[in-house]
Amino acid sequence: MHRIVVFVLFLALVSSTEPLARAESPAPIGRAFKNLQHPLDDTEGLRRLLGDAAIASRSDLARALRHQTPVKSQADRGTCSIFSSIASIESYLIRNGLVSRPDAVDLSEQWLQYLVARKTGEDGSDAPQNFSLISQWGLAREAALPYEGEDWAEMKRRPPLARERCGHLQKGRKLKACLLGQYDPDALEWADEELRGSSHEPLLKARREAETFLRKLRGHAGNWPRATAVRTVSEVKALLQAGIPLVLETDFFLGAWNHREAEDHGIPRDPMKWKQGVISYPPLGSVDRRKSAAEEAGHSVLAVGYDDFIEVEVESLQEDGSFQTFRYRGVYFIKNSWGTDGFGSEFSAQGVRAPGYGMMSQKYAHEFGGFYRLQLPE
């Protein structure tokens, strides 16, 4: 009991009382994920074996939302997996009573993206790598290292701060890592005196907080965190039914998401379904399935619930030039990282309105996605 009390006091010190407002996102799409482990759909077999009550037909969305922090925006950067991983940890702290209320914790995506960039020198990550880095370096709060929405690596004319922090680096991996992480990749291990008074000084406070966070959380939860793939649909739904959200990483299909870039590729989109946060499925023989697959893109979100009764529909342009209507029953509710004014701005389900959320057809998630659970004691 003493250990839990100490940990709660620690979180009270490092949690921001008000989440910082972020600029609305242009809905960036990330790189494709490698080696996604698609869940085996074993639900029908279990129902035949154990009866209809073996797997509940829906989870409680309203209850799930009580354990989530406000929807954030990744802005211009391809950091979706960073946001979904951070969201899962924030939710863990709320569910287990380690913070006083959902808006009392706001962890730094900037810190985690910096850790990823300095290690890989690449844009993009995944849940297993994110949690591995967190277990090594810990986490800081958003107020210590605020998120910057500009993608320095993609800018033709970089801002003065980018030149100040990265201009001393030559072309190559370290420069790219600096532009992606927005700090020199070696600065994490600089002495306090080197950081103090420099443009890298924010890392000093973040590093100290992350060390404290890691030490306290290890005292509470042991060796952590790590992400493990959830192998079956029945386990996915059992965890969501228990209120445990899952990181969901998927291949990205422009038409299924009704993304604005779909029209650039000759793929029809429905702007209203974009606002409603509806993600359908790329049917066999569709233009969406062929052209989106050629883009090799991916996106990561947090799955917070499901409903086997909700049906989503898509009017699909097929390769033969015809339009066909397809309906897919069963959805997962997702928390996205594109802000609240665009995608999902009019999302509602089960009598609950939640801007910035969405619903993805289960067929899409099972066939093109992979679920990951944060392994921590509940």
Written as six digits, the tokens of 21 are 């407002």
Written as six digits, the tokens of 193 are 């005196």
Q: Rounded to whole angstroms, how far apart are CA atoms 151 and 29?
A: 13
Q: What separation in angstroms does the CA of 89 have from each of 59, 82, 133, 299, 378?
A: 20, 11, 13, 18, 12
List Cβ neighbours of 90 (8 Å cut-off, separation of 6 or more). 68, 69, 105, 106, 107
pLDDT tens, position by position, 240-255: 999 999 999 999 999 9
Q: How many residues does the chain have?
A: 378
| Cβ atoms 28, 343 nearer than 8 A | no
pLDDT band at residue 45 using 50, 70 and 90 as cut-offs: confident
Q: Is 313 helix (H, G, I), strand (E, B) or coil?
A: strand
pTM, to two decimals: 0.91
**What is the reported pLDDT for 337?**
97
Residue 5 reports pLDDT greater than 80: no
pLDDT tens, position by position, 66-110: 999 999 999 999 999 999 999 999 999 999 888 877 778 999 999
How does the average pLDDT of the chain come out, rounded?
Answer: 90
- The domain spans of the chain are 1-21+76-224, 32-66+226-378
**Whose CA is closest to 29, among 260, 183, 227?**
260
Q: What is the DSSP letter of 159?
A: -
| Cβ atoms 258, 344 nearer than 8 A | no
In the chain, DSSP finds a helix count (H) and a strand count (E) of: 15, 10
Q: Rounded to whole angstroms, how far apart are CA atoms 370 and 79?
A: 17
